[in-house]
Structure 1
Amino acid sequence: MRLNPSDIVITADDRPGVHRAPRQISAKRQTATAAATAAPARPKAKRRLPRLRLDMTPLQKLAGAGLLVTAVMVSGLALWHSGKPQRLVRDTGMAFLNSTAEAGFQVADITVSGRRRTPAEQLVSALGARYGDPILGVDIAAARARVEALPSVRAAAIERRLPGALHLSIVERQPVALWQTDSSFVLVDRDGHNIPGAIEGFEDLPLVVGDGAPARTDELFALLATEPELAARVKAAVRVGNRRWNIKLDDVEKGLEARLPELDTEAAWHRLAELEKTRALSGKQITMIDLRVPDRMVLKSSREPTAVNTASIAPPTAMARER
């Protein structure tokens, strides 16, 4: 595009070599200029960076929090599996226990009460405490469990007597019978637990024979106790087919054998006690009495067996009335 000379306006101030005359400034503009010059310069405002705003839904916020918790848990598990926290706790605990032992809280005396048959070395081993050990480091519950696991111990209690004494009190299992297996004998208590050790001093206990006999010992002695006089004469009890009992009175080999039923056992035991009181069957060369049938019984003497109706055996007073 070409410019025409008439399009360019040249004023006096624009002419080359001509100085511009001073411009006339109004009084109002002079006042504003003076005030701006006299006033201190105001600091420039800092430029704020734009902020990014994320609008998240509640579900997204929950997912973010879950990721954060998961990351923390993973880090914690990794630290835990490294074993460092456990070692720190163990070392700190051991240092504390050692300091208490140095202060006088250490095992210096161990006493036991209630021991009759249990070997002392078994109790010491089960207790797990040695002289000089920190007494506060003895795990009472674990030691008690180990002592009660011994075959001859029924119950135990452990007392810590500070500063340096441990007292162990035990209740031993009491033998009530000898369990005969083949040609060997083992002591058993009322609950049927085997009690290891020698049988010397317990040879006069009743024998229990047969499979399952020890487990039924409590049941047997509860039955016998209902007739104390007759129970004192029991020398052996044979478990037959793990269903019922044959009882031997007075002598294991030559005594009277009473065959009790599987059902109504207590009633049959009472019948036998009554017959012994009134008829003294064991003193009449009778070797066996079968009480398995409620309304009759079979007697066997050294000569031959005899079937007897129970109605024919009655107390003397009843027999006198019948006459």
Structure 2
Amino acid sequence: MAAVRARRSGGRAAEPARGKRRKTPAVSSYDNMPRLARIKLSGGLTPDDVQVTSKSLLVALTGAVLFVGIAVASAAWLGSSLFDAREAFARSADSAAAGVGFNIASVDVDATPGGPAITDARREEVRALIVPDGRRSILALEPNEVKARVESLDWVASARVRRLWPSTLEVAVERRQEYALWEEDGHVSVIDINGERLLAERAADHPNLPLIVGRGAGPAAEPLLQALESLPNVRSRLVQIVRVGDRRWNLELNSGAMVALPEEGAPAALARLESLHARYALLDRPVRQLDLRTPGQLAVRVHPTLAGGLNPLLGGV
């Protein structure tokens, strides 16, 4: 019996006392507080509370742009025009891009390799067209749009544009070259080889260019101007090209001689004149008129002072 009691009493001793519960670890009321409350109690933000990364900056910037876009769209909904809304959003996005390093730091303008040089004044004229009003970011400079604006200048033949990230724009300009002066209705203009006026050029600045005279003569002179490029003897003696009856040309040389060209095949007639000069020094002879209007023939009228005397065309000097 004693053993049985001992076993029973030992079993009771091993069991926890009735009416008592197991204690759980205490949880601090500070840890259960909201984060904002903990920041206020601690007196400010700790380094663990603030973590700034490039990703967070990008997200913040994107959020700012979206916020501005939503605000602008709301303004448009309330009565502003859609154009004003788009412009406001574009300006906001442009400012944001410029603020993170895509600002326009340099606009390099130069001539194309091997092309005519460009003056500083011409460079500034190009730069003035490149950057739209109120824009500060290179993202606002779309190459095709910049190219179109630059090529709208009358002295520009073509342009090449490229962006060098993050903040440089490079523009190569091929300028139209001055080939002649065109006198029409008493007004003299500078023209290129295509006969198009170069409004930015002054005739007084190009006194050595040949003069083309007559209504509509500028564009019509293109075949002659191209032919003269390979005829140095004729070109160096040329003073002016006169349009006759809106169908053919007369050339006046610096010797005072006049050359009548045919209505058809004027460039070929000029090439023949160049060949005759190479063989006979024809353009240096004292002649008054050279008529090339009949194919295969040359009619020559000598200077009046030679009438009845020695004719240099027949071997005299």
Structures share a fold, TM > 0.5? yes
Amino acid at match of 2:271: H
The equivalent of 2:151 in structure 1 is: 148
- Structure 1 CA distance, aligned partners of 2:165 and 2:159? 19
Whether 1:259 aligns to 2:256 is: no
Counting only pairs closer than 5 Å after superposition, residues 143-182 of structure 1 correspond to structure 2 as: 143-181=146-184
Q: Secondary structure at the match of 2:216?
A: coil
Structure 2 distance, partners of 1:269, 1:85, is: 62
CA deviation after TM superposition for structure 1 residue 132, in Å = 6.8
| 1:229 is aligned to 2:233 | yes
**Structure possessing the higher radius of gyration over alpha carbons:** 1
**Conserved 8 A contact 1:106-1:131:** no
CA shift in 2, pair 1:266/1:83, >3 Å = same
The residue type paired with residue 247 of structure 1 is L
CA distance in 2, matches of 1:261, 1:156: 39
Partner residue of 1:197 out of 196, 201, 209: 201
Q: How does 1:1-323 map to 2 (within 5 A)?
A: 93-114=90-111, 115-116=118-119, 119-129=122-132, 133-181=136-184, 183-195=186-198, 196-199=200-203, 202-249=206-253, 251=254, 254-294=255-295, 296-303=297-304
Letter aligned with residue 96 of structure 2: S
Unpaired segments ≥5 residues, structure 1: 1-78, 307-312, 317-323
In 2: Cα distance, 1:284 partner to 1:84 partner: 76
Distance 1:167 1:188 in 2: 28
- Relative to its length, the structure with more helix (as a share) is 2
Deviation of residue 278 (structure 1)? 3.2
State how far apart, in whole Å, the 2-side matches of 1:302 and 1:263 are. Answer: 27
* Residue type of the alignment partner of 1:218: E
SS of the counterpart of 1:208?
Answer: strand
Equivalent-residue separation in structure 2 for 1:266 and 1:84 (angstroms): 59
Q: Matched residues, percent identical?
A: 27
Offset at residue 270 of structure 1 (A): 3.5
Deviation, structure 1 residue 131? 8.8
Letter in 2 for 1:96: A
* 2: CA distance, partners of 1:85 / 1:182: 49
- Distance, in Å, in 2 between the alignment partners of 1:183 and 1:89 is 49
CA 1:305/1:166 → structure 2, altered by over 3 Å: closer, same or farther? same
| C-alpha deviation, 1:182, in angstroms | 5.0
Aligned residue for 1:268, secondary structure, equals helix
**Residues 156 and 118 of structure 1: CA distance in aligned 2, closer, same or farther (over 3 Å):** farther
TM-score (norm 2): 0.60
CA RMSD of aligned residues (A): 3.4
Task: Give the Å deviation of 1:135.
Answer: 1.6
Displacement, 1:148? 0.7
TM-score w.r.t. length of structure 1 = 0.59
